[in-house]
């Protein structure tokens, strides 16, 4: 029996697959165990990894063991370790053992869930899981699919795709369905988000054919960095007077720069009667609503929004990619995006008794993403998820306290959940130099932003492996970098 790999072009036998599968799981476990000793930020220079790989593919199959060896020798040195306990840059792209096993099962099943008929379980497990998550976060009932019938949720790849999808639904709704057939027409549409809104809002307008010039950047409060709703009201009024038609307002709940949380209730009241679609981008912060004590701050006013997105793959222990979009009226999505060629027609879809998720986003094909979120929800339970979120908040508050107690530093904004934004009082050059030296040391990895014209460092806690010792070790390394 062949044991060294498919050198003859044949497939692995079940026994070989089992052996290599065990080796792959062992490799992941060893990788996790050794992460603390690896530099968080990759130390390679451009082209290092590529130069170590052959320029041509192998003519004959190689052993899977050889691939694992090259992971250690070539790939790992070229990785920035997002699962490292001291990865504090950007926002976490989280994972967990349960999520990885769920994703492995999804890959092994290999089902294509574009319509209900192609694998009913792929659709129906997802329906239940996104409803579970809506309940866990305390979302209003109108966002749920089962028992209510109007709204519902869908797993997208990222919040960027979810924002684009929500914008398409808004355009369909505003044009009574003509946009999908006739384009955006001569109407001068406008789209609104704060100056701190994610860049995906602008990209969504580009992809929708509206053009980036339709986006209005609304000023923020200098202290909180949240949208100044009075400015939004003036911009809406001015645009209407100038012949524009407001289409879409995005409220940010946890901005990338500082974690600022827009006042969704106030925004909804400001646009009342204008007829615009209110979308809530809670990609990072939204999952923190599993904790009842954080819910009002995060989801206050969300019942007035028409769509909301949050990413379990950021802070809720679910392997990338897993972004959940909910809408209050799912027909706005399905009517905007549904196209049914003959080869997709089937009795179940035509009966109207099933959901075909292909109509809920731009892509046709879809993986069994819900398995990994299902695995996380079932193995951790809500109490386990709450404990994880609370730990992140507590560790960030500990770091914020260290900043407050050191006269060389200052907080730029108040801590937002598990995100701390801070700087050296000596100015931009000193702030960025210290951050770059810390990152180059390999001990930890922080990213930066600019707030009100001044540079700042960001420390975002989120890994299930981060401890108080990691926070203190990062602070000590930062002192050494001054």
**Three-state secondary structure of 108-127:** HHCCCCCCHHHCHHHHHHHH
> Does residue 195 fall inside a structural domain?
yes
> Does residue 141 fall inside a structural domain?
yes
Model confidence, pTM: 0.93
207 and 258 belong to one structural domain:
yes
> Does residue 431 fall inside a structural domain?
no
Residues 302/280, Cβ–Cβ less than 8 Å: yes
pLDDT at 2: 41
The first and second tokens of residue 58, run together, are: 């192998």
Q: Residue 308: count other Cβ atoms within 10 Å of its Cβ.
A: 29
DSSP letter for 224, please: T
> Does residue 256 fall inside a structural domain?
yes
Residue ranges in the chain whose pLDDT is less than 70: 1-9, 146-149, 341-343, 347-348
The first and second tokens of residue 73, run together, are: 């020798």
By the 10 Å C-beta count (0-12 exposed, 13-18 middle, 19+ buried), 18 is classed as exposed
271 and 205 belong to one structural domain:
yes
Residue 38's nearest CA partner among 463, 464, 445, 478 is 445
H or E stretch at 31: helix 14-34
Supply φ then ψ for residue 31, to 5 degrees. -60, -45
Work out how many domains the chain is built from and give that number.
2
202 and 112 belong to one structural domain:
yes
108 and 72 belong to one structural domain:
no
Residues 393/148, Cβ–Cβ less than 8 Å: no
Looking up residue 54, the CATH number of its domain turns out to be 1.20.1340.10
Cα gap 252→256, rounded to integer Å: 9
> Does residue 479 fall inside a structural domain?
no
pLDDT tens track for 410-453 = 999 999 999 999 999 999 999 999 999 999 999 999 999 999 99
Residue 100's nearest CA partner among 383, 470, 464, 468 is 464
pLDDT at 147: 56
| Three-state helix/strand/coil letters over 335-392 | HHHCCCCHHHCCHHHHHCCCCCHHHHCCCCCCCCCHHHHHHHHHHHHHHHHHHHHHHH
pLDDT at 116: 81
H or E stretch at 419: strand 419-424
Residues 101/375, Cβ–Cβ less than 8 Å: yes
Cα gap 459→444, rounded to integer Å: 10
Output the CA–CA distances (angstroms, integers) from residue 457 to 348, 410, 450, 454, in the order listed: 53, 11, 9, 10
The first and second tokens of residue 145, run together, are: 């699919």
Residue 29: give the domain boundaries: 14-81
234 and 366 belong to one structural domain:
yes
Q: Which of 325, 357, 375 is the last residue in one of the domains?
A: 375
Output the CA–CA distances (angstroms, integers) from residue 393 to 72, 285, 405, 417, 420, in the order listed: 34, 11, 18, 5, 10
Looking up residue 322, the CATH number of its domain turns out to be 3.40.640.10
């Amino acid at each position: 029996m062949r044991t060294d790999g498919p050198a003859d072009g044949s497939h692995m036998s079940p026994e070989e697959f089992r052996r290599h599968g065990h080796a792959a799981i062992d490799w992941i476990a060893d990788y996790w165990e050794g992460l603390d000793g690896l530099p968080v930020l990759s130390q390679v220079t451009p082209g290092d990894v590529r130069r170590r790989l052959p320029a041509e593919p192998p003519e004959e199959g190689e052993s899977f063991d050889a691939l694992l060896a090259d992971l250690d020798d070539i790939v790992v040195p070229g990785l920035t370790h997002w699962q490292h306990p001291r990865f504090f840059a950007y926002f976490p792209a989280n994972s967990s053992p349960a999520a990885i096993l769920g994703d492995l099962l999804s890959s092994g099943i290999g089902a294509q869930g574009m319509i209900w008929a192609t694998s009913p379980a792929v659709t129906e497990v997802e329906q239940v899981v996104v409803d579970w998550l809506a309940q866990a976060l305390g979302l209003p009932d109108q966002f749920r699919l089962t028992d209510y019938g109007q709204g519902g949720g869908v797993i997208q790849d990222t919040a960027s795709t979810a924002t684009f999808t929500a914008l398409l639904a808004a355009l369909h709704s505003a044009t009574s369905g003509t946009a999908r057939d006739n384009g955006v027409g001569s109407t001068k549409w406008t789209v609104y988000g704060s100056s701190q809104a994610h860049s995906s809002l602008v990209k969504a307008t580009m992809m929708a054919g509206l053009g980036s010039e339709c986006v209005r950047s609304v000023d923020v409060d200098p202290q909180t960095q949240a949208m100044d709703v009075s400015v939004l009201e003036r911009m809406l009024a001015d645009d209407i007077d100038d012949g524009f038609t407001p289409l879409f307002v995005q409220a940010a709940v946890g901005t990338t720069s500082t974690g600022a949380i827009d006042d969704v209730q106030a925004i909804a009241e400001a646009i009342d009667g204008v007829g615009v679609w209110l979308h809530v981008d809670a990609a990072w912060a939204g999952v923190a609503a599993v904790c009842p004590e954080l819910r009002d701050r995060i989801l206050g006013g969300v019942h007035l929004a028409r769509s909301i997105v949050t990413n379990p793959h950021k802070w809720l222990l679910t392997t990338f990619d897993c972004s959940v979009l909910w809408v209050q009226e799912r027909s706005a999505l399905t009517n905007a995006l549904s196209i049914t060629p003959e080869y997709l027609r089937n009795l179940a879809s035509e009966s109207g008794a099933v959901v075909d998720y292909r109509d809920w986003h731009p892509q046709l094909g879809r993986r069994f993403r819900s398995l990994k979120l299902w695995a996380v929800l079932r193995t951790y339970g809500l109490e386990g998820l709450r404990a994880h979120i609370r730990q992140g908040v507590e560790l960030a508050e500990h770091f914020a306290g260290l900043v407050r107690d050191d006269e060389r530093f200052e907080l730029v904004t108040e801590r937002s959940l598990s995100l701390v934004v801070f700087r050296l009082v000596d100015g931009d050059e000193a702030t960025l130099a210290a951050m770059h030296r810390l990152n180059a040391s390999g001990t930890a990895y922080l990213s930066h932003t600019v707030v009100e014209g001044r540079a700042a460092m960001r420390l975002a806690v989120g890994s299930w492996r981060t401890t108080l010792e990691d926070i203190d070790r990062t602070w000590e390394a930062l002192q050494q970098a001054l």
